[in-house]
Amino acid sequence: MQIIIFSVALISIIALIIGIFLGVSSEIFKVKVDEKVAKVRECLPGNNCGGCGYAGCDALAEAIAKGEAAVNQCPVGGANVAAKISEIMGVVADESVKMVAFVHCDGTCVNANKVYEYNGTKDCRLAASLPNAGEKKCSYACLGYGTCVEACKFDAIHIIDGVAKVDEEKCVACKACIKACPMKVIGLVLYKKEHKVVCSNRDKGKMAMDACKVSCIACGMCEKTCKKDAINVVGNLAIMNFDKCDDCGDCATKCPRKCIS
CATH of 35-89, one of 1.10.15.40, 3.40.640.10, 3.40.50.2300, 3.40.50.280: 1.10.15.40
User: Which sequence spans correspond to the domains of the chain?
Assistant: 35-89, 97-192, 195-261
What distance in Å separates the CA atoms of residue 246 and residue 43, rounded to the nearest whole number? 35
DSSP assignment string, the chain: -HHHHHHHHHHHHHHHHHHHHHHHHHHHSPPP--HHHHHHHHHS------TTSSSSHHHHHHHHHTTSS-TT--TTTHHHHHHHHHHHHTSPPPPPPPEEEEE-----TTTB-BSS---S-S-HHHHTTSGGGSSBS-TTS---S-HHHHH-SSS-EEEETTEEEE-TTT-----HHHHH-TT--EEEEETT-S--B-----S-HHHHHHHBTT------HHHHH-SS--EEEETTEEEE-TTT-----HHHHH-TT--B-
User: Domain 97-192 carries which CATH code?
Assistant: 3.30.70.20
pLDDT at 32: 57
pLDDT at 152: 95
User: Tens place of pLDDT for every residue, the chain, 261 residues?
Assistant: 667 776 767 777 787 788 787 777 666 665 555 788 989 999 998 888 888 888 889 999 898 988 888 888 888 888 888 889 989 998 877 767 789 999 999 999 999 999 999 988 999 999 999 999 999 999 999 999 999 999 999 999 999 999 999 999 999 899 999 999 999 999 999 998 899 999 999 999 999 999 999 999 999 999 999 999 999 999 999 999 998 999 999 999 999 999 998
What distance in Å separates the CA atoms of residue 141 and residue 158, rounded to the nearest whole number? 16
Residue type, 43: C
Would you say 112 and 137 are in contact if contact means Cβ atoms under 8 Å apart? yes
- 195-261 has the same fold as 97-192: yes
Strands 231-234 and 99-103: unpaired
User: Domain 195-261 carries which CATH code?
Assistant: 3.30.70.20
pLDDT at 91: 84
**Dihedral class, residue 8 (left if φ above 0, else alpha if ψ from -120 to 50, else beta):** alpha
pLDDT at 29: 60
CA distances from 187 to 121, 180, 190 (A): 25, 12, 10
pLDDT at 6: 64
Cβ neighbours of 90 (radius 10 Å): 8
What distance in Å separates the CA atoms of residue 148 and residue 203, rounded to the nearest whole number? 25
